């Protein structure tokens, strides 16, 4: 049976129930004493001893059996166990151990060791005074409690440190700690890997030795972030673009922050640096920034970057009193190459072209892929437009030879349009627009050879290389020029009434070339006038040859350039040629564009009169495309108006109202001029101009320009037919 007595003098209800005794505050919790004895005298003595002499704060319980004692001790809130040998089994060593195991933290004392008599169930009056016991127990228990408290906090601290270490070891960021003297005190495994220093070697070394950082690009030493954090006593970020050099010399871009550490008095005691490898993300960022401003295929700057650089060039040109040039480059036959050889070769061609273009300019210039087969070159800070001309010719010269791509030798033609800052515009947009249009005109001329005077001026010389100017002189000496003759048909009768002489250059490498491809260059090479004289002489000679061969000789039309026309000796030399070749002046018609005549309208009238006095007839070529007004037209003593082919081509389309062609023919008629429609390509067009009572017509529908031999044959057949019809 259990006899549990609560002591009468327990003066507090505070209990340590459920907690280890050492885990509570040493001073406030009553000391719990369990007496395990059969005699009540021991109990009374202990109780009185603890209660009487400073024994406040004790709670004494008494059990008489070992089983009750173990039962009570299971609650583990007993500080002191006083075990009497009178308890059955109480002197048993095993029982002692059992109690010790049940409550390892409690103080276990044999009662007789304290001087008590184990008198058994009959109480003894001779029990010792236990007043000394209070102080002793209090001292011992409180000491034990403090020790237990310390152990508990040590355990808690250990747990916390363990936890922090596991956390630091498992995070992806590198962590490095220094003391106040910037000596390394800790590195986590990521920091070890990133610096190349194992913690055991790094700890104790100066931070600069372990954490070697520089500024990317410059290689300059970066500011020590730990020092900054300690000095400024706040969290600081690393300088941008920081690079960490590992122990083995390899480098990686890092990003980090450093924060000061404080001791318990709040004083800065060190710093912790947290950093991570950002090489990969920096690479991706750089690649994305690069792609946003470059063409992925060729690696050249794209439109966005060009626009930026053009803006800079304009500002620089202004500041240094220079000019800038924009060259629009289009590949004439890229589509054909792509269609014939496939996109893979097409891409390689674009890359090869990009390489060639880049090698033709200075490193400070910008070659940009504008899209598709269009490239734009920005020449920054040129002294004069001649510099742009020089680059243009260099480009054309480079592309005059085939380029090697994938085993194919490919001839890539270029059309180039040029605009000069500030001559052609004062903004990036205006310059781009101008160069683009110039390129289109250049392309139109090099492709179908049928462009306006304006177009010819813009594109003049572009399709040939600089060395081609030298070529032109050689060509002239080597008689590489020849004439084609395009029939002019009398509309009412359908008969050939004339031929227009059209110059060609049979280039030894490039083959047959048309005036749009070389006339501008001939002008720059100073060959316009001699070439023009040669054309007139050659054409006149041809007509007299046909005449001499008893062929029917048509009227001859010859185109005259601005330089020839303005040349002071033009009329005199023309007269000489007529004399020399024996051609009747009335059989020769000189074609001049409105643009040429309008350069100096008054002088033109004088010259035209001079020529008319020689007996030659005069025609306004490409009528409708020039700047002259009706008033001025009336002043020019001309005989023929040749309506430009562009008005004839589009009569069936919405773009060009036939009313324009009708009125152009009407103007010619009202001025009493002979009206010739150019560029007649279809039966419908011919029908239309016929219905408008056009006098004559020219065009592929009526006869292609032919070489002298072919034309001789044509005239022979026509003459024969005519004679047949007459007889």
Kindly calculate the radius of gyration of the chain based on its CA atoms and give it in whole angstroms. Answer: 55
Give Cβ neighbours of residue 587 (< 8 Å, ≥ 6 apart): 543, 553, 555, 556
Angle between the 515-524 and 467-477 helix axes, to the nearest 10 degrees? Answer: 100
Nearer to ligand C2E, 332 or 365 (CB): 332
Instruction: Pick from 392, 460, 486, 581 the residue near ligand C2E by CB under 6 A.
Output: 486
Nearer to ligand C2E, 127 or 604 (CB): 604
d(CA 531, CA 564) in angstroms, rounded, equals 9
Instruction: Pick from 30, 417, 515, 624 the residue near ligand C2E by CB under 6 A.
Output: 515
Instruction: Pick from 32, 338, 559, 625 the residue near Mg ion by CB under 5 A.
Output: 559
| 321: region left, alpha or beta (phi > 0 left; psi from -120 to 50 alpha) | left
**459 touches 417 (CB < 8 A):** yes
615-654 footprint of Mg ion as x/- string (CB under 5 A):
------x---------------------------------
From the list ligand C2E, Mg ion, none, which binds 535 (C-beta under 5 to 8 Å, kind-based)? ligand C2E
Q: Is residue 638 a contact point for ligand C2E (CB under 6 A)?
A: no
Give Cβ neighbours of residue 544 (< 8 Å, ≥ 6 apart): 553, 581, 582, 583
Query: At closest approach, how far in Å is the CB of 703 from Mg ion?
Result: 14
Q: Within 443-462, which residues bind ligand C2E (CB under 6 A)? A: 448-450
Which residue's beta carbon is nearest to the bound ligand C2E? 449
Query: At closest approach, how far in Å is the CB of 676 from Mg ion?
Result: 9
From the list ligand C2E, Mg ion, none, which binds 450 (C-beta under 5 to 8 Å, kind-based)? ligand C2E
d(CA 344, CA 333) in angstroms, rounded, equals 16
Contact range with ligand C2E by CB under 6 A, out of 2-10, 131-139, 207-215, 497-505:
497-505
Contact range with ligand C2E by CB under 6 A, out of 374-382, 412-420, 429-437, 558-566:
558-566
Nearer to Mg ion, 73 or 513 (CB): 513
Query: At closest approach, how far in Å is the CB of 482 from ligand C2E?
Result: 11
Share of the chain residues as helix, strand and coil, in percent rounded to the nearest 5: 45, 20, 30
Nearest to 253 by CA among 290, 216, 211: 216
Strands (DSSP E) along 491-559, which ranges?
A: 496-507, 511-513, 555-559
Q: Within 309-368, which residues bind ligand C2E (CB under 6 A)? A: none
- Count of chain residues binding Mg ion (CB under 5 A): 3
Q: Within 566-605, which residues bind ligand C2E (CB under 6 A)? A: 591
Residue with tokens 């308890």: 87
Q: Is residue 502 a contact point for ligand C2E (CB under 6 A)?
A: yes
User: Which contacts of 222-225 are long-range, i.e. CB under 8 A and separated by 24 or more positions?
Assistant: 224/182, 225/256, 225/257, 225/258, 225/271, 225/273
Query: At closest approach, how far in Å is the CB of 674 from Mg ion?
Result: 14
Query: At closest approach, how far in Å is the CB of 385 from ligand C2E?
Result: 24
Neighbours of 623 (CB within 10 A): 27
Neighbours of 636 (CB within 10 A): 20
Q: Is residue 621 a contact point for ligand C2E (CB under 6 A)?
A: yes
Q: Is residue 535 a contact point for ligand C2E (CB under 6 A)?
A: yes
Strands (DSSP E) along 551-587, which ranges?
A: 555-559
Residues lying near Mg ion in the complex (CB under 5 A) are found at 559, 591, 621
Residues lying near ligand C2E in the complex (CB under 6 A) are found at 448-450, 486, 501-503, 514-516, 532, 535, 559-561, 591, 621-622, 645, 678-681, 698-700, 705
């Amino acid at each position: 049976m259990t006899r549990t007595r609560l002591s009468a003098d327990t003066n507090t209800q505070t209990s340590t129930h459920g907690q280890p005794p050492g885990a509570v505050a040493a001073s406030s919790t009553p000391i719990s004493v369990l007496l395990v004895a059969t005699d009540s005298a021991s109990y009374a003595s202990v109780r009185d001893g603890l209660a009487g002499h400073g024994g406040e704060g004790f709670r004494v319980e008494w059990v008489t059996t070992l089983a009750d004692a173990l039962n009570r001790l299971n609650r583990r809130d007993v500080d002191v166990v006083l075990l009497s040998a009178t308890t059955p089994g109480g002197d048993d060593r095993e029982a002692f151990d059992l109690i010790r195991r049940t409550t390892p933290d409690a103080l276990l004392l044999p009662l007789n060791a304290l001087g008590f008599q184990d008198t058994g169930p009959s109480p003894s009056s001779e029990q010792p005074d236990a007043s000394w016991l209070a102080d002793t127990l209090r001292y011992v228990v409180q000491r034990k409690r403090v020790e237990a408290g310390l152990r508990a906090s040590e355990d808690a601290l250990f747990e916390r440190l363990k936890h922090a270490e596991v956390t630091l070891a498992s995070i992806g960021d590198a962590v490095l700690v220094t003391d106040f003297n910037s000596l390394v005190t800790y590195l986590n495994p990521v920091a070890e890997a990133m610096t190349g220093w194992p913690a055991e070697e790094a700890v104790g070394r100066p931070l600069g030795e372990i954490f070697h950082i520089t500024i990317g690009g410059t290689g300059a030493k970066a500011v020590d972030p730990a020092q900054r954090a300690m000095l400024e006593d706040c969290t600081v970020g690393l300088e941008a673009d920081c690079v960490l050099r590992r122990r083995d010399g390899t480098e990686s871009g890092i990003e980090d922050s450093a924060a000061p550490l404080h001791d318990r008095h709040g004083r800065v005691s060190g710093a912790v640096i947290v950093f991570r490898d950002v090489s990969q993300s920096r690479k991706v960022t750089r690649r994305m920034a690069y792609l946003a401003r470059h063409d992925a295929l060729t690696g050249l700057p794209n439109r966005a970057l060009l626009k930026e650089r053009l803006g800079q060039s304009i500002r620089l040109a202004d500041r240094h009193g220079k000019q800038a040039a924009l060259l629009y480059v289009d590949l004439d036959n890229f589509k054909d190459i792509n269609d014939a050889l496939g996109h893979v070769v097409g891409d390689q061609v674009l890359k090869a072209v990009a390489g060639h273009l880049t090698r033709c300019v200075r490193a400070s210039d910008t070659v940009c892929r504008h899209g598709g087969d269009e490239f734009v070159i920005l020449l920054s800070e040129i002294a004069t437009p001649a510099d742009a001309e020089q680059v243009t010719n260099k480009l054309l010269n480079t592309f005059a030879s085939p380029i090697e791509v994938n085993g194919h030798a490919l001839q890539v033609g270029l059309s180039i349009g040029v605009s000069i800052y500030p001559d052609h515009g004062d903004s990036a947009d205006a310059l781009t627009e101008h160069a683009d249009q110039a390129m289109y005109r250049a392309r139109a001329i090099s492709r179908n050879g049928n462009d306006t005077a304006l177009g010819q001026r813009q594109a003049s010389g572009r399709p040939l290389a600089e060395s081609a100017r030298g070529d032109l002189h050689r060509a002239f000496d080597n008689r590489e020029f020849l004439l084609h003759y395009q029939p002019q048909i009398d509309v009412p009768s359908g008969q050939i009434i004339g031929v227009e002489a059209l110059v060609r250059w049979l280039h030894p490498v490039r083959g047959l070339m048309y005036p749009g491809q070389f006339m501008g260059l001939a002008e720059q090479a100073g060959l316009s006038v001699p070439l023009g004289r040669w054309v007139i002489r050659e054409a006149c000679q041809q007509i007299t040859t046909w005449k001499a061969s008893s062929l029917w000789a048509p009227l001859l039309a010859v185109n005259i350039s601005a330089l020839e026309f303005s040349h002071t000796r033009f009329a005199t030399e023309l007269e000489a040629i007529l004399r020399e070749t024996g051609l009747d002046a009335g059989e020769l018609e000189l074609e001049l564009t409105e643009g040429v005549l309008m350069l100096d309208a008054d002088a033109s009238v004088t010259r035209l009169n001079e020529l008319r006095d020689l007996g030659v007839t005069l025609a306004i070529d490409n009528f409708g495309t020039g700047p002259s007004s009706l008033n001025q037209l009336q002043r020019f003593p001309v005989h023929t108006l040749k309506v430009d082919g562009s008005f004839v081509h589009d009569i069936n389309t919405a773009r060009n109202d036939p009313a324009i062609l009708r009125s152009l023919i009407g103007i010619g008629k009202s001025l009493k001029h002979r009206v010739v429609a150019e560029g007649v390509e279809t039966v419908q067009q011919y029908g239309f101009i016929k219905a408008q009572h056009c006098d004559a017509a020219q065009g592929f529908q009526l006869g292609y320009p032919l070489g002298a031999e072919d034309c001789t044959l044509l005239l022979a057949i026509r003459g024969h037919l005519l004679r047949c019809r007459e007889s």
